[in-house]
Homo-oligomer: A and B are copies of this chain.
Amino acid sequence: MNAPSTAQHLMPVVAQREVPQALLDALKAHFGDRCSTALVVREQHGRDESAYTTVPPPAAVVFAESTADVSQAVAMAAAHDVPVIPFGVGSSLEGHLLAVQGGISIDVGRMNKVLAINAEDLTVTVQPGVTRKQLNEEIKSTGLFFPIDPGADASIGGMSATRASGTNAVRYGTMRENVLGLEVVTASGEVIRTGTRARKSSAGYDLTRLMVGSEGTLGVITEVTLKLYPLPEAVSAATCSFPSIEAAVRTTIQIIQMGIPIARVELIDANAVRMVNNYSKLSLPEQPMLLMEFHGSPASVKEQAETVQEIAADHAGHAFEWATTPEERTRLWTARHNTYFAGIQSRPGCRAISTDTCVPISRLADCLLESVAEVDASGIPYFLVGHVGDGNFHFGYLIDPESEKERATAEELNHKLVARALALEGTCTGEHGIGLHKMDFLVAETGAGAVNMMRSIKHALDPKNIMNPGKVFLY
């Protein structure tokens, strides 16, 4: 992830703010060796999976081990008007972790305890540094699972902050639907709680949902209460190949419109299948493919699968392959999750620029097919994967980072794609967030009025603009 930036020109330039030595001294005095100013540590916290790499790193990294640590670090930073940037595992794709205005990083990775498993209520309360895989490992014996799966083994705090989703969202929703409550350290260092463990509430403003997706700009999430789900009695996964992307997409649309409670329905285009075959040593047919999963009682899974097979057959779907053992399923989903790396490996030295549009399901074919034609015509190598049941898909444009021309072409393709998605009543980002890269798209999507309302909220809750400044919109 250390190749030169490909999107530097899109990043709004704002002056770095000074981090006074007095603050660094105070942090060192308070946190001891849990505050690091070593360059290698700072650099590791000054980048993420985005294409931005030339931003100077934060001036220090505080390794928080408790809410009190976070509160203390924020309060000290606030006293010096210094930005704070929360850090989970660093898997953001949109530059969320970069110290574009300077400041300090607060790494919550050591806050990785599962605090309370309430199996009988289908809830769990965790610290923000718990990762989704760790969580599922720790709750395994309860017969429950946490379905949100953005691919990366992201932290729950980071997933909350970006309103993440992924392959299971079509059935189980996104972080928006699955966070019940939060503990948050505000811009003054105060600790507040939002929500309860009740499954619904009409008690005042929905601060939980305001914080979910606020990308660290309104507070640092220090505790998350999540919904869990019973592990389905039966699970079955299948792959099905199609003669065209259109056939796969039309199959998906019909599955959704019929209300089939499919748990996962992922599109993988022929390019991506080829890359995945090479990377994961598989021999999937090199055609557009749907990768599906069904959850339920044995009878319900069978019924869903039969209906879906009929729909797929109507669209010339063939080569249906079932994976019913956990091992087979893991192999398939691991291959799916490695698409990004398979793509990168397919073109030595390249970088991927990932798109993230999401449109109403009826507009999916229009949006996708026009965009595929456009990128095919451009000559840029790419792969295409999608959480198509939600209308969400990602192109990975595989560009030579040394080529200004390819970079410009990719950005132009992305702009056209976003414009198309917005015209089709969709969004510029289904799950990755705005970060540094999509501020203009946010205004185009929601209008200046709504962005100004967001800005007013930010001004009210963070009057010194120290909470992850320079992300989502400029202050």
Residues of A whose CB lies within 8 Å of any CB of B are: 118, 120-123, 162-165, 169, 173-174, 176-177, 186, 190-194, 196-207, 209-210, 212-214, 218, 229-230, 232, 253, 256-259, 296-297, 299-300, 303, 356, 358-363, 390-392, 422, 425-434, 438, 441-442, 445-447, 449-451, 453-454, 456-457, 459-461, 472-473
Instruction: Determine if A192 and B358 form an interchain contact, defined as CB atoms under 8 angstroms apart.
Output: no
Q: Are A204 and B473 in contact (CB under 8 A)?
A: yes
Q: How many copies does the complex hold?
A: 2
Q: How many angstroms between the C-alpha atoms of A200 and B450 in the bound complex?
A: 17
Chain B nearest CB from A370 CB (Å) reads 17
CB of A192 within 8 A of CB of B359, answer no
Q: Which of B191, B300, B427 contacts A203 (CB 8 A)?
A: B427
The residues of B that contact A360 with a CB separation of less than 8 Å are 118, 121, 123, 197-199
A200 x B446 contact (CB < 8 A): no
A192-B453, A300-B303 given; 14 more Cβ-contact pairs under 8 Å: A120-B257, A120-B361, A121-B363, A122-B256, A186-B449, A198-B425, A198-B430, A199-B358, A199-B361, A202-B213, A204-B473, A205-B213, A209-B210, A296-B300
Given contacts A193-B446, A299-B300, A456-B461, contact A359 B198 (CB under 8 A): yes
Given A190-B449, A192-B447, A457-B460: A202 and B433 interface contact (C-beta under 8 Å) = yes
Cα A299 to Cα B456 in complex, Å, equals: 52
Assembled-state Cα–Cα distance A472/B192 (Å): 18
The answer to whether A197 and B253 touch (CB under 8 A), given A209-B209, A446-B204, is no
A460 and chain B: residue at smallest CB distance: B460
Listed by A's residue number, 23 A-B pairs whose Cβ atoms lie within 8 Å are A120-B257, A120-B362, A176-B206, A198-B390, A198-B391, A198-B425, A198-B426, A199-B360, A202-B213, A202-B432, A203-B441, A204-B442, A205-B213, A206-B210, A207-B450, A230-B257, A297-B300, A299-B299, A299-B303, A456-B461, A457-B457, A457-B461, A459-B460
Complex: how many Å from CA A209 to CA B121? 24
Known: A449-B190, A457-B460. A201 touches B259 (CB 8 A): no
**Contact across chains for A203 and B434 when beta carbons are under 8 A apart:** yes
> Which residues of chain B are within 8 angstroms of A193 by Cβ–Cβ distance?
446-447, 449-450
Q: Which residue of B lies closest to A258 (CB)?
A: B230
| Contact yes or no, A207 B431, CB < 8 A | no
Do residues B451 and A456 form an inter-chain contact, with CB atoms below 8 A?
no
* Residue pair B205, A457 in contact (C-beta under 8 Å): yes
Question: How many angstroms from the CA of A363 to the CA of B118 in the assembled complex?
Answer: 11
What separation, in Å, do the CA atoms of A387 and B399 have in the docked complex? 54
Nearest B-chain residue to A162, judged by Cβ? B202
Residues from chain B with Cβ under 8 Å of A442 in the complex = 203-204
The answer to whether B198 touches A427, judged by C-beta atoms less than 8 angstroms apart, is: yes
B426 touches A196 (CB 8 A): yes
Task: Identify the closest chain B residue to A433 (Cβ).
Answer: B202
The answer to whether A429 and B210 have CB atoms under 8 Å apart is no
Assess the B426–A391 pair: CB atoms within 8 A.
no
CB distance from A240 to the nearest CB of B (A): 21
Distance (whole angstroms) from the CB of A124 to the closest CB of chain B: 12
Q: Are B453 and A207 within 8 A (Cβ)?
A: yes
CA distance A159 to B395 in the complex (A): 39
- In the complex the two chains form, is B165's CB within 8 Å of A120's CB? no
A330 CA / B360 CA spacing, docked (Å):
33
Tell me, rounded to whole Å, the shortest Cβ–Cβ distance linking A428 to chain B.
Answer: 6
Whether A199 touches B390, Cβ cut-off 8 Å, given contacts A118-B362, A173-B177, A206-B212, is yes
Best-surrounded residue of A122, A198, A457, A460 (most CB of chain B within 10 A)? A198
Of chain B, the residue at the smallest CB distance from A144 is: B259
Given A193-B447, A206-B163, A450-B194, verify A200-B186 contact (CB < 8 Å): no
Distance of A176 Cα from B195 Cα, bound (Å):
13
Q: Which residues of B contact A303 (CB under 8 A)?
A: 297, 299-300
How distant is A263 from chain B, measured CB to nearest CB, in Å? 13
Please, how many angstroms separate the alpha-carbon atoms of A456 and B461 in the complex?
A: 7
Question: Is B300's CB under 8 angstroms from A454's CB?
Answer: no
Bound: A230/B255 CA distance, A: 12
Contacting residue for A197 out of B426, B430, B433, CB 8 A: B426
* Residues from chain B with Cβ under 8 Å of A453 in the complex: 186, 192, 207, 461
A443 vs chain B, min Cβ distance (A)? 9
3 nearest interchain CB pairs? A209-B209, A230-B259, A460-B460
